[in-house]
Amino acid sequence: MAYISDILDAIEKKYDLKVHGNYQKRHSIDGIRFFNENDANIEHLMPNILYLADYKTFGKAEVYGDILFIGTGQNTPASDSLYIEEELNILELYNLMEDVILAYQNIDVQKRSLFSILHNGYGIDALLQTAYKYLNNPVVVCDSSYGILASFPDVSEDKNLEIKNNRLSVKAKYSEDMEQKKVTERIYHSVYPFAVKLEESDFDWIFESIRIKHAVVGYICVRCNEREHTESDLDLIHSLAQMVSIQLQKDDSYRNPQGIKYDMFLRDLFGRHYDEETAVNQLSLLGIKPKEYYYIIASSFTATSRRLMAYHIYIQQLSTIFSNSVTGIFGNRFITLVSTSKMEAMTPKTEKRLKTFLTMNHMIGTVSYLYDKLSESSAYFSQCQGLLSQRLPVFNESPIIYYRNYYLKHILSSANKESMVRASIHPSIKFMKKHDEEHGTNYISTLETYFDNNRSAPATANALFIHKSTLFYRFDKMKQLFDIRLDDKDALFAYEYSLKLLQ
């Protein structure tokens, strides 16, 4: 338990900002929780729990309880709550708030913290990062072949590890030492963490198996080189192992053996672990024929829908739509890499089939630019992922979203300075939009149609079903009212850029 004033004071001190809203200084908070879709449908939230919410996603929610919105800008949340105008890293903020009440927390609260990370879909990396905060020792998750699945902090430079088959793995002499000391056997047979000493180390190593339906699919390793472990650490590691098991099942990596190969290839490819020759050879080994071009599709369920079938059923359908492709699972998203000999992302037939699939399953998909170097896939993967993250919360369009239509917004939003981006809209366009709203005119739509028709006056007049002289009259009015200059190429670019931002 901690007073809310202590939590808010810590936030203001660390980030040098102001937390807005009214609160009683001695109001007690027993825990922190991420605000989610289920909470948005509940009128009264749990008492003495401070909910952390992203304003862009939940700003219109009208609920009663202790909520802290982040990233409101100049807006005010619909509910009477606390809010921060600035954009902050929600996980970093969450960890800071947890630190304030850490002195009063016991192991059960630590478990609830991990469960909140798991429940809200932040993934295995966030689970390990939060566990490290409590254990103060490095945490590593390995698969059953000693390959590193995840770690915190990063262990890529660790002397106990090596690159084997393009994957970070435990060195042979250490895995042999584990087998000689029957550590591997204990991992497979024990159901609770245990501590041992390994070769060339004067500190304890803690291991526990990760099980899915009684099968051992990997293990957790905690290296106690920063501080000695306690009994409560073992209890927390036991809970962490169970949560990692759940996360792996959510990721679906271990339900479909064929999917493991695809997932690992894509993760290594997007992690830039391959040169061009190796990437092409690895793709060939998966049964995919490398052709002249590649593109990526990222698809996921909309905010109002959820998965109803096993992951492999969706993968099979995507494989049917894209014959020369490989699909992997990244969290709750499907990532499909397609190789094609045509210099176009999709044929009309393929596009139609994909649109039907996405529509029927209440999903949306983002499509990257076409590219010709497989080893450069990471950048195009980021295109799809970033665009999907942008469009999911505000989805109201065709289920297929091409990066070519949103590249400008994506680049600008990456700057994470919305006020600066909005300020870059040309003043003539701002004034024109305001005039349309106040007077019911349609100057904005006229100008948009002009650009949509390659700046051709006859084509624009036809599209608007007006005479060409009427169109030129509108252009003259635009010049009089807003100083629009259609004979200035630099101004035309600024107008079109501004209209894109307004869409």
Domain range for 474: 425-502
- What confidence tens digit (pLDDT) does each residue in 389-419 have? 887 777 667 889 988 887 777 677 666 666 6
pLDDT of residue 255: 47
Phi-psi region of 123 (alpha: psi -120 to 50; beta: other; left: phi over 0): left
CATH number at residue 80: 3.40.1390
In whole angstroms, give the CA distance from residue 445 to residue 166: 53
**CA–CA gap between residue 178 and residue 194 (Å, rounded):** 13
Residue 246 neighbours by CB under 8 Å, 6+ apart: 118
Q: Are residues 154 and 278 in the same domain?
A: no
Is 314 a member of any domain? Answer: yes
**Same domain (yes/no): 335, 372:** yes
Assess whether 86 and 115 both reside in one domain. Answer: no
Pair of tokens at residue 302: 């909309």
From first to last of the 503 residues of the chain, give the pLDDT tens digit: 777 888 898 899 999 999 999 888 878 888 899 999 999 888 889 999 999 999 999 988 888 899 999 999 999 887 778 999 999 999 999 999 988 877 556 667 788 888 888 888 888 899 999 999 989 999 999 876 677 888 999 887 777 787 754 567 777 777 777 878 888 888 878 889 999 988 777 899 999 988 876 667 778 999 998 988 876 688 889 999 999 988 877 765 444 445 677 888 998 999 888 899 999 999 998 889 999 999 999 999 886 666 656 677 788 778 878 889 999 988 889 999 999 998 877 888 788 878 878 887 788 999 988 898 999 999 899 889 888 888 777 766 788 998 888 777 767 766 666 666 677 788 789 889 999 999 999 999 999 999 999 999 999 999 999 999 999 999 999 999 998 999 988 889 889 888 888 87
Gap between the Cα atoms of 63 and 49, Å rounded? 13
The strand pair at 139-143 and 215-223 is best described as antiparallel
pLDDT in tens, 370-387: 898 999 999 899 889 888
CATH number of 187's domain: 3.30.450.40
Residue 416 lies in a domain: no
Residues 435, 459: one domain? yes
Residues 401 and 469 in one domain: no
CATH value at residue 303: 3.30.70
Task: Tell me: do 117 and 229 sit in the same domain.
Answer: yes
Q: How far is CA 383 from CA 194, 367, 421, in A?
A: 43, 8, 19
> How many structural domains compose the chain?
4
d(CA 263, CA 329) in angstroms, rounded, equals 6
What is the C-alpha to C-alpha distance for residues 440 and 359, in angstroms, rounded to an integer? 34
367 and 435 belong to one structural domain? no
**Which residue, of 82, 105, 128, is where some domain finishes?**
105
Nearest CA among 176, 172, 173, 168 for reference residue 150: 168
Question: CA 79 to CA 62: how far, in whole Å?
Answer: 5
Q: Does some domain include residue 413?
A: no
Residues 310 and 452 in one domain: no
Helical H segments across 120-171, by residue range? 123-135
Which of the listed residues 407, 437, 472 is the one where a domain comes to its end? 407
Structure confidence at residue 166 (pLDDT): 52
Flag whether 417 is in a domain.
Answer: no
Rounded CA gap, 397 and 271, in Å? Answer: 31
Residues 388, 479, single domain; the answer is no
306 and 392 share a domain? yes
Residues 423-435: tens digit of each pLDDT: 778 878 988 999 9
Picking from 198, 223, 251, the residue at the C-terminal end of a domain is 251
Residues 182 and 286 in one domain: no
Domain identity same for 143 and 241: yes
Q: Is 234 inside a domain boundary?
A: yes
pLDDT score of 467: 94
Rounded to two decimals, what is the model's pTM? 0.43
Residue 31 domain-assigned?
A: yes
Q: Is residue 414 part of a domain?
A: no
Strands 325-330 and 333-340: antiparallel
- Record the tokens describing residue 475, joined without a space: 């252009």
**Quick one: the chain helix, strand, coil %, rounded to 5?**
50, 20, 35
Instruction: Indicate whether 420 belongs to any domain.
Output: no
